[in-house]
Structure 1
Amino acid sequence: MTIWVDADACPGPIKEILFRAAQRTKTQVVLVANHALRTPASKYVSFVQVTKGFDVADSEIVNRCEPGDLVVTSDIPLADEVISKQCLALNPRGEILDKENIKSRLNVRDFMDTLRSSGIQTGGPAALSAAEKQAFGNALDRWLSQHAG
């Protein structure tokens, strides 16, 4: 099993959690981004740099992920695509996205997008809290205990 990371927007503390988990559990973690990233020297962590462009990194993840893989992303449409490939999506705030909840999340995302298109200021996401980092680590540990090694 592989953990794919939509790394363009993934917060640094979440990447650090992933790097430590990869080493501890000997699980492959692949970061995909359209700009250069620093990764630790580890045979369990790799980086794929894609060309700049709309959804290029997302397409790379969708093309390379396999059923049962984990995809770390806050991108709801990407999560929907990988879920349709029988992967599990986990956002950096520790929320598991699966076939049971992805459609409602897409509806909320589309509604917020409509509001923004109408000129209504919806604001961005709040800063990642310590509780959310812990929730991410806990969800990652649960997945790893079921799939690693």
Structure 2
Amino acid sequence: MTSIYIDADACPVKNEIYRVAERYGLKVYVVSNSYLGVPRDPRIELVVVSDSFDAADNWIAERAAAGDIVVTADIPLADRCLKAGASVIGNTGVPFTTASIGMAMANRELMSNLRAMGEITGGPKPMSPRDRSRFLSALDETIQKLRRQR
């Protein structure tokens, strides 16, 4: 059975995930370093981990497997989950794949170095309606693909 794991601390599409998971009857694990409000639904489970570095990432990576979906913007977590066989979707609806993760890791390293040198400041741009639409489409497509594989 497919489960969805959300790297929830900074995830802007949690409500969209809840709606899609309800439609398909999927289990959702909302993994966070702090308590978050989640819908009262037996299929949605809030998992609060310690506030130690990468605790949420480690919890997800240890459980995500083939047939599961992970939603995260964290590229190293995406890499770990892909290696475990899970499907991974970024918060803006761009899927991470085994073909794209190497470039994403290299780009992350480059941006980290540029920030360290003071060349780049600021974070990611805000979510747009187009990003939300792309996310919903990617999530639905991934669920359909996993269902066909079973």
- TM-score range relative to shorter protein: over 0.9
The 2-side partners of 1:120 and 1:132 are apart by 26
The 2-side partners of 1:136 and 1:91 are apart by 8
Runs of 4+ more than 3 Å apart? none
Deviations 1:35-69 (A, max 9, x none): 00111011221110001011110000001112221
Residue 118 in structure 1 maps to residue 117 in structure 2: yes
The 2-side partners of 1:92 and 1:84 are apart by 19
Mind listing any 5+ residue stretches in structure 2 that lack a counterpart? Answer: none
Per the normalisation by structure 2, the TM-score is: 0.94
What is the number of residues matched between the two proteins? Answer: 147
Mind listing any 5+ residue stretches in structure 1 that lack a counterpart? Answer: none
The 1-side partners of 2:121 and 2:81 are apart by 27
What residue is the counterpart of 1:139 in the other structure? 138
Per the normalisation by structure 1, the TM-score is: 0.94
The 1-side partners of 2:66 and 2:124 are apart by 30
- Alignment RMSD (CA, Å): 1.3
Equivalent AA in structure 2 for residue 10 of structure 1: C
Identity of aligned residues (%): 35
Equivalent AA in structure 2 for residue 2 of structure 1: S
Q: CA deviation at 1:71?
A: 0.5
SS in 1 for 2:127: coil
